Amino acid sequence: MKTASTVVVLVVMVLLSGCATAPAARSPIDLQALDPGNYTTVPRFIEHTEATGAAQEIVRLAGHMPLMSEIDPRLTRNRVRYEDTYTASRRPTELGGTTGSDPTLPGPQIGLRISGEQPSGLGLRATLTVLRYASAEQAESVRADYWSVLAVESTPLRDFPTALNFVYNGEYDTATVHSWFVFRQFLIVATVQHDLQEKPDGAPLSAFLGPLLTRQVELLSDYEPVDPANWHEIPADVDGLLGRTLPSEEDLPSLAAVSTPVPMLRFSTAPEADRRAYDTGEVDLFAQDDSVVLRAGSDARARELATTLTENLRRDGWIASESPPGLPTTPCVRSTPELYPRFACYVVVDRYVGVVGSRMEPDAWQQAAAQYLLLAHGR
């Protein structure tokens, strides 16, 4: 049985955190004794379609967005949800603190929202949304629609005279600055907030926006969009890695894609910690659907990768949990809240690390068994 926690949000959150102990070198496993429940155990062929092409384009766009820690090293945490990826049929419901008024305006071809905050969740935080439209005119019309709802005067932002910005002083003396900027066919919406300032003041927050927009424009300058008419031609898998992940259910969709690890950091809850882990493990390929599979540089590197991720999780307060039946060397962990805990297991097969997660421990065990069988299939 799957739960909503098994969508990409939980899988990525689990991945970013690590496991309880580093797995030892692989010992013989009785494959017949494993219980995968109703989960897939045979690798699948991923046919490239317009939908798979859109997913790959979202990931490619992610690689052209800055991590918030690049702008301020304190912002090492990222809140990520499947709902923060956008297509023409899945538009953002809110942008820059408001909603649009004209439903007839075109939706984005693709888009993504990322964020950055301090580990405590307090103080400075920021979100960045990039929406790609068919043309600059479309991006401008959407911006104008949202801005008309706000009905406020724009506050100038140095070096970005065409950006529309406003400072909102909310409850509890919280200052928030929103900025709307169009670059080529991209609508960029940035929000910066600080909830610990003694007095609401947008000036320090506006100072953060300048470098953020500058870096975003630099990265997008090197991005060449693939026309949606050609999305069906984009390869949907690389070396069959995505086909060895657990597939998501239709009613609990995830962003199914495969890429080098750097773009995938935008879907990480702790991108800087993961970047170091990927470098140590010499990870060259990252696939995610309802589970995550990483390809390390070697069998030894895979075990080192699990060790590094384990240490990250332990720092975040996760505790060791029981290994799945039949997989005694597969480490599992649980989050510390007792009421609604999350369970995660690492599966290491040769140079591959698979990560599964669930709100229910028996379900996590079945996912781990299925993930092991997927990675071990044909080996």
| CA atoms within 13 A of residue 155's CA, in its CB half-sphere | 15
Q: Which pLDDT belongs to residue 25?
A: 42
Distance CA 259, CA 339 (A): 35
Cβ contact 18:310 at 8 Å: yes
Distance CA 152, CA 129 (A): 21
> CA torsion sign, 262 to 267 to 272 to 276?
negative
Q: Which pLDDT belongs to residue 283?
A: 98
Cβ contact 194:174 at 8 Å: yes
Q: SS3 of 256, please?
A: coil
List, in sequence order, the alpha helices (H) in the chain: 8-17, 50-62, 68-71, 136-150, 203-220, 261-264, 271-281, 299-315, 361-376
- Give all domains of the chain, ordered by start, each with its CATH number: 4-46+237-376 (no CATH), 51-220 (3.40.1000.70)
Output the six-digit token pair for 150. 């706000």
- List, as one string, the DSSP characters of 46-83: ----HHHHHHHHHHHHHTTS--HHHH-TT--B----GG
Distance CA 200, CA 277 (A): 38
Place of tokens 């969508």: 7
Place of tokens 């301090």: 118
The backbone region for 335, taken as left when phi is positive above 0, alpha when psi lies in -120 to 50, beta otherwise, is beta
Q: What angle in degrees, to the nearest 10, is found between the helix axes of 299-315 and 271-281?
A: 160
Neighbours of 16 (CB within 10 A): 25
Q: Which pLDDT belongs to residue 194?
A: 83
Place of tokens 């090492």: 76
- Contacts of 154 by beta carbon, 8 Å cutoff, 6+ apart: 163, 164, 165, 166
Q: Which pLDDT belongs to residue 151?
A: 80
Cβ contact 158:146 at 8 Å: no
Alpha-carbon distances, residue 133 vs 222, 294, 305 (angstroms): 17, 32, 38
Q: Which pLDDT belongs to residue 199?
A: 53
Residues of the chain where predicted confidence (pLDDT) is lower than 70: 1-27, 169-174, 196-204, 251-253, 339
Among candidate residues 324, 240, 289, 207, the one with its CA nearest the CA of residue 2: 289
Q: Which pLDDT belongs to residue 207?
A: 83
Q: Which pLDDT belongs to residue 201?
A: 58
Neighbours of 299 (CB within 10 A): 15
Q: Which pLDDT belongs to residue 339?
A: 65
**What does pTM read for this prediction?**
0.88
Alpha-carbon distances, residue 332 vs 45, 188, 237, 247 (angstroms): 29, 40, 28, 21
Distance CA 370, CA 18 (A): 19
